[in-house]
Structures are given as C-alpha cells and as structure tokens.
Amino acid sequence: MDQLFVYKERTTEDRLAEVCCGIKPVNKYFVMDGMGNKVFSILEDSECCDRQCYGAGHPFTMNVTDHSNQVVIRMVHPSVCTSCSSHELEVQSPPGTTIGYVRQNWHVCLPKFTLENERGEPAIKIVGPCVGCTCCTDENFELVSLNEAAIDRSFGKITKPFSCCGSNAAFVIRFPSNMDVKMKATALGACILIDSMYYTSQRASLLCVCISVALGYWEIGYK
C-alpha cells in the first residue's frame, strides 16, 4: 500500500450547528486505499466543552476501526496551550501499545513536525506550506529526511487538495510501499493532527463567509 485517501465525514446537521450555533462537532473520517476500498473509519472521542473552549488545543482520542468495527489504531492528543506549547500525538496499535509519535516543531510561519518511532527516536520530518497563504492550489506537507533535504519526489507527502466553501475533499497520503507499517500508521496520525490544527476551524470560517455572502445577495434582491 503506497497511498491513502482520508475523507472528512460531516452531515448537514453538523455544518448548520457549527455555523449557526458555534457548536463544534466531533471529527469523523473514513479512509480508502488506492483501489477505492474502504479500509478504516475514524471517530473522535472528546468532550464538547473542551472542543468549544480549547479549539485546536483540545484533548482528544481518535479510534480507528477496521471493516469488522474493531479498534486497530488509537491516536491520543493531550490538551495543549496553543500559544505556548507544541502539539503532539501518540499513535497506538493495538490500543495501549505505542508504535509512534507525531511532534510539532516550532517555526515562525511553516508547519513542521517530526515522526518518531515507539522509542521516541526521530525518523521522518514533515514540512508544510504557510497554511492560508496559498490560493486556489493544493497544499503539500512533504515527508523529508531528518536534515530536511527532500530525498526525492516519490518519498512521500500529505496533500490537502484545494477545496472551496468547506467541501469534504480528501487528504491524500503518499509514502513508499516498503515503508514500515508502524510509520505508515504514524503518518496517518500526522494527517489527522494537521487537519485538526489547520483546517477544521478554517472550514467553519469559510462556511460562515459563504453563508454571509449568500444572505447579503438575498437581502439586496429582497430590497
């Protein structure tokens, strides 16, 4: 397996509750392989109050289930003070057995992360674009060597395809087929953390803008 497609699941009720009432729903995803087969479902376990008060810094657990509804991977994100602390995510498989970590590396403007093995030893770095500064284009988070020099184009990346007004566009994760399976699961965890940090709140803002513009045109036409 050399690529995964990660889709956000969000109902109309979820969208309306978030935009109209400011209620942030739990994140839900499904994951497909390159052949179009559904391989995982992912459901967030967190407190509503934490999501409202802490935003991207709220503590959560992501339970990853297979086709038989068994939890095969668990991702644990502790509470983070976003103004003074770095994010981290522990990846467990099976639940209770740590297989890797995702740690945010501070940078003035670029998203940077390190993927670590179960012993906390750095293995791969992720370097992303200045999120929000790109326009009408895909955003690529490159998997690079520890000295941050890209090994080659096929080494790997997490891509957020361009989408408009909060559509459920997939993240695409590409990695070498011979990459250690534990590190593949950790890369999946990095994708979920990236979405939680940079895109979940942004999606709500885009929906607010779209609805505000539509209401503005409606009022003009009504008058």
Tokens of 186: 């950790």
What is the CA 85 to chain-centroid distance, rounded?
19
Q: What is the mean pLDDT of the chain?
A: 83
Q: What is the CATH number of domain 3-202?
A: 3.20.90
Alpha helices in 22-155 (DSSP H): 48-54
Q: Which two tokens stand for residue 203?
A: 């999606």
pTM of the shown model: 0.83
Per-residue model confidence (pLDDT) at position 220: 54
Q: Cα separation of 71 and 23, whole Å?
A: 27
| pLDDT above 50 for 205 | no
Please, are residues 78 and 56 in contact by the beta-carbon 8 Å criterion?
Answer: no
**pLDDT tens digit sequence for 22-47:** 778 899 999 999 899 999 999 999 99
| DSSP bridge pairs for 124 | 115
CA separation for the pair 76, 92 (Å, rounded)? 8
Per-domain residue ranges of the chain: 3-202
Per-residue confidence band for 210, with pLDDT thresholds at 50, 70 and 90 = very low
Which of 11, 6, 48, 5 shows the shortest CA–CA distance to 26?
A: 48
